[in-house]
Structure 1
């Protein structure tokens, strides 16, 4: 029998998009729909390529709901394999490790994980941009005559357009020491793929829209491996629609003008993004938001650009990647910083350590680095004093 896998990614559980609890629930609903589809299809396993959660510290309700959803797979005898993405990545133990202790998930590593006699999986967690140059892509040898799939959470060109990619795909394919048949990826929110030197490479995309310009339907990838050949097809998830409305005001335009523009669109039960341009008028962004919500919109976000600088954004890149962390990491990558400096920097930026314990945490990191540098012996001065 062929091996059948469901590849999902970038579920971003806990994302209160636009400050909305309804949107947070939407993200959880989409994840549940993907898992229900896996059970219906009776797949051999579900593979998740990172950003299961939207943050490094998901709330207890989000964590519990995730575990409840995964236990549906467990009851159906379907294993859930995952890696850690950049949004949820912590310095030490990961939440995926905690879920693994419940028996509802298993974290993929550089050691081979056999799904069936025919398919072997590997996993490499998200690698920060400053650490990429030192990354080791060595994998433990797979069992003979198996189809090998490496799961990663990185922006690689191709298939990601160069303007979005962090690294060339060749960095991985040239350094991995095993013969890869496929590379299943996460981090890019659109469904794209390519074939490079005989290796099939693709992104499953996100299960919910994480930005208003993520226009395409959200999907998951159903994989079938039969006699060493992989077939991939997409299954569309039923997600909430997004709509964008532009209102350009002239001097003297009032509430009735804004109402007329809004009424040209069906906003019922949708996530609505409204851009206000032109002249400043008596109509406030709050007025517009109220008008949209009163017409049945699920969520409304208003961007008021009236009277501001005339900036042409028509040529800006579009896509689903919005991360201050990524910009910071890019700049850090240009600096010649030590590993210990990078680790301290990340703890400052991410707030993983409470202020009251930060001094002790940094001291421990420095002591560990010192011990490693001196082969476990305390560093001493010329007089033999510490």
Structure 2
């Protein structure tokens, strides 16, 4: 004789749901689940099977967890096992709440290993996202040899399956792929009670419905199932759960006169049902004045309603409906536009492609990036004289500042870029670019004007002013080092060093605004000024035959504040001139020498560096 087994089947309890932001409704969901637990204890069922969505959220509050454990302790005290699967609402990435309850001995998480209840083996499949249903692996289901003869098999799932509404899983396909015969599928996720036979073997598939109303559309009474397995077969019976009343009141307006009186009259017809009910008032009829929903809801609450909701179904013929057009941009197009704005080079595009490629696992991103970038580097010929790396300047990082008025070329009202504010890389790239078109900052017409400009502060400043005026008349900005070289036989001459390319300029480590002078005597520095970087001013040093000790100390301080220059690195105090370079000389009669140094506070001199390929990738 086959032993009779009774199993209580429930699902979608959604514990912790504060419906309509109402604490009383949160308690209603627990009360409904308490009714199910108490019925199981009273009927002394063999097991309680929960088909998913025990909690409404994957992050229930501590209060929700404690109340749930108190209810499960009742089952444990009555020796009734609580068997459950994970639903979509409560699903977490790794450890589930059911695992916690299982560690406490309050629940058993169903899976591919059967849980035996009497002569019935119960399997479980946790909720599977719609996108992964076709990839579900049916292998691994165990069929122990120790199972008793004539053992019944039940499968618990949390899915919407065919032929029920909103189906995303085919029950017939599931039954064919399992390694055992299924007598019934106990389902969850669909909140309405259903029972139907599916597949070629006419297997029962049933939904118990939710234990509480999760929305106004769930008008049917809430319920759970009792599954009875015996020698006569399998029987599914429905048991209703008493829940809070959901009251729907229609109010039809006839004319525009006294609309509130008509609405309140409709409400008063349901005064006996209003107390502690969730009330939905639907207003229909002739279009009229705009109604105050808050006033109507307050009236419903004053009559004892727990929750009041008002909906106006009237057609507003007098009002012109505003048509709102909503457009959604193509995500791929938006990403491509953002990549274009970033102005990435080949290395950057490779990194972007690897990161956004769904076919590359996270664990292989570093390996794949290193491999692709290594191939890019190997393909480059660094010995090629024409090889150079261009850094596109982002339009966002470009900054504009005005040139100092005393050094702005005559007739030029434009602005120049502040290269340093855009970042070191952009500054170096722009400096290298401009070094190809180096021009003289000023044209010195005679040596007399140069010599007069170097007079002491007590002498006549008029020649110095004329020299400054000649600088302002030059339309070209300063782009290259100016080297004033003095010889005893010929006189003073000015040399403009023309570097062959950006690489030579950066290799020599010389400041683009550094002016050095070779002389046979000692040097004296005097405060003549030239335009410096970022709108600042640099001092023009003047060499003379005599130099005091105090002036030597001052010169040392200026050298330290400006950072290490190429003359300090070489230890010579002079700038070396390339052999194949032909300087442009402008003669001067003075035997004095000039040294111009670039100062910028206490920061390091902006010297173009030689960049490695890794800096750009």
- TM-score if structure 2 supplies the norm length? 0.50
Structure 1 residues 123 and 308, CA gap change in structure 2 (3 angstroms): farther
Q: Distance in 1 between matches of 2:79 and 2:309?
A: 42
Aligned twin of 1:227: 231
Aligned twin of 1:296: 304
Following superposition, the deviation at residue 3 of structure 1 comes to 1.1
SS at the partner of 1:212?
coil
Question: For each residue in 1:98-123, what CA deviation from the matched residue of structure 2 results, as whole angstroms up to 9, or x when unmatched?
Answer: 2222211111011111122x011111
Aligned twin of 1:317: none
Structure 1 residues 108 and 295, CA gap change in structure 2 (3 angstroms): same
Would the aligned equivalents of 1:253 and 1:281 in 2 still touch at CA under 8 Å?
A: no
Aligned twin of 1:344: none
Give 1:224-263 correspondences, 5 Å limit.
224-227=228-231, 229-249=233-253, 250-263=255-268
Q: Distance in 1 between matches of 2:162 and 2:362?
A: 38
Matched, 1:275 2:282: yes
Farther off after superposition, 245-254 or 19-28: 245-254
Q: Distance in 2 between matches of 1:154 and 1:253?
A: 50
Q: CA RMSD, aligned part only? A: 2.6
Following superposition, the deviation at residue 149 of structure 1 comes to 0.4
- Tell me which of 37, 52, 55 is aligned to 1:53: 55
SS at the partner of 1:219?
strand
Following superposition, the deviation at residue 298 of structure 1 comes to 2.1
Q: Distance in 1 between matches of 2:57 and 2:138?
A: 26
Aligned twin of 2:295: 287
Structure 1 residues 165 and 253, CA gap change in structure 2 (3 angstroms): farther
Q: Which structure 1 residue ranges, 5 or more long, are not aligned? A: 311-362
Q: Distance in 2 between matches of 1:308 and 1:63?
A: 48
Give 1:151-170 correspondences, 5 Å limit.
151-158=156-163, 160-161=164-165, 164-170=166-172
Structure 1 residues 140 and 228, CA gap change in structure 2 (3 angstroms): farther
Q: Which has the larger radius of gyration?
A: 2
Q: Distance in 2 between matches of 1:253 and 1:110?
A: 66
Would the aligned equivalents of 2:175 and 2:181 in 1 still touch at CA under 8 Å?
A: no
Q: Which structure 2 residue ranges, 5 or more long, are not aligned? A: 319-354, 378-617
SS at the partner of 2:371?
coil
Following superposition, the deviation at residue 248 of structure 1 comes to 3.5
Q: Distance in 2 between matches of 1:228 and 1:111?
A: 27
User: How many residues are aligned here?
Assistant: 325
Following superposition, the deviation at residue 370 of structure 1 comes to 4.0
Aligned twin of 1:148: 153
Following superposition, the deviation at residue 36 of structure 1 comes to 0.2
Matched, 1:199 2:203: yes
> Higher RCO, 1 or 2 (CA under 8 Å, sep at least 6)?
1
Q: Distance in 2 between matches of 1:308 and 1:87?
A: 39
Would the aligned equivalents of 1:147 and 1:228 in 2 still touch at CA under 8 Å?
A: no
Following superposition, the deviation at residue 169 of structure 1 comes to 2.1
Aligned twin of 1:73: 75
Aligned twin of 1:351: none
- TM-score if structure 1 supplies the norm length? 0.78
Question: For each residue in 1:305-352, what CA deviation from the matched residue of structure 2 results, as whole angstroms up to 9, or x when unmatched?
Answer: 556699xxxxxxxxxxxxxxxxxxxxxxxxxxxxxxxxxxxxxxxxxx
Q: Distance in 2 between matches of 1:33 and 1:308?
A: 46
Q: Distance in 1 between matches of 2:192 and 2:31?
A: 19
Question: For each residue in 1:179-199, what CA deviation from the matched residue of structure 2 results, as whole angstroms up to 9, or x when unmatched?
Answer: 111100000111111112231
